[in-house]
Homo-oligomer: A and B are copies of this chain.
């Protein structure tokens, strides 16, 4: 089955993906940081059974006990944005429900008991929210959530109280980055309760000009309003990025994009950092139509498959950095 990132979404020139995350906890059970091993097991199994009891949804998922997975597999999942770095780092007593196309991942006993995450290619917050909502409904039909009339869904961290919703977009903004316009965008974004982060979330640096934009406020604002705000910010970022792109020298863009493509098609060793810089140039070239005959989805797939852990997971064995750089170059040659 094709993974979610193998298809092309809306506004794909600038929007790589949309992610919706819902945080939920079960009533009467401590938050994960204070749970016993037995309580974790019980929560994991309760949620699993609740999902599997839904005959339509249930069969799309597999249940993974995180502590049984090799480090590399878990780290590769972080690179694919399926799980959080913290979830991969301390896997004891944690479990994951993962849909076949990897568009839905449900982390169990992460910061909260349940973290439903839905990914969609391109700009699709409503679609992603609809899917998350359906899963939420299926679970809540069989589980009792910790919910307060005044505060909404209760979560371990107060920043998630209320809707428990985080809606975010992964934006490819090479022109805004090069022009220094990112800081202005970030300032605007923060005024409406949203934030711009690096590629792998809070505290991480942008890689390949990939930026996460997401809502900060979950209390006193409806899910619909949060998604509305995200759309509004996205529209601004897309418009600014496109305007800047169209003001760039087309010959320079074409040359840079094809050089990056040439290097990726021919190099014998490529570090992760260089890879991301090159693929960003290629993505821009494809998005602007200067590189033809290369589907954007191929670029997306390659981008999501070239992290250090993903490379090792694909090769099925641990590799030292030099071996990884060779395997990464080989992967790029084969895919491009």
Contact = CB atoms under 8 A, between A and B. Distances in A.
A119 to B, nearest CB: 32
Contacts of A263: 259, 262-263, 266
Contacts of A269: 251, 255
B251 A262 contact: no
Contacts of A264: 262
A292 to B, nearest CB: 13
A297 interface: no
Nearest to A262: B266
A125 B269 CA distance: 41
**Interface size bucket, A side?**
10 to 19
A27 to B, nearest CB: 58
Contacts of A251: 268-269, 326
Interface of A: 251, 254-255, 258-259, 261-269, 326, 329
B254 A259 contact: no
Nearest to A268: B255
A329 B251 CA distance: 12
A259 B255 contact: no
A64 B265 CA distance: 46
A251 to B, nearest CB: 7
A266 B292 CA distance: 13
Given A255-B268, A262-B267, 9 more contacts: A251-B326, A254-B268, A255-B267, A258-B266, A261-B266, A262-B262, A262-B265, A262-B266, A263-B263
A259 B333 CA distance: 12
Contact of A268 (B258, B266, B268): B258
Contacts of A268: 251, 254-255, 258-259
A329 B254 CA distance: 12
Contacts of A262: 262-267
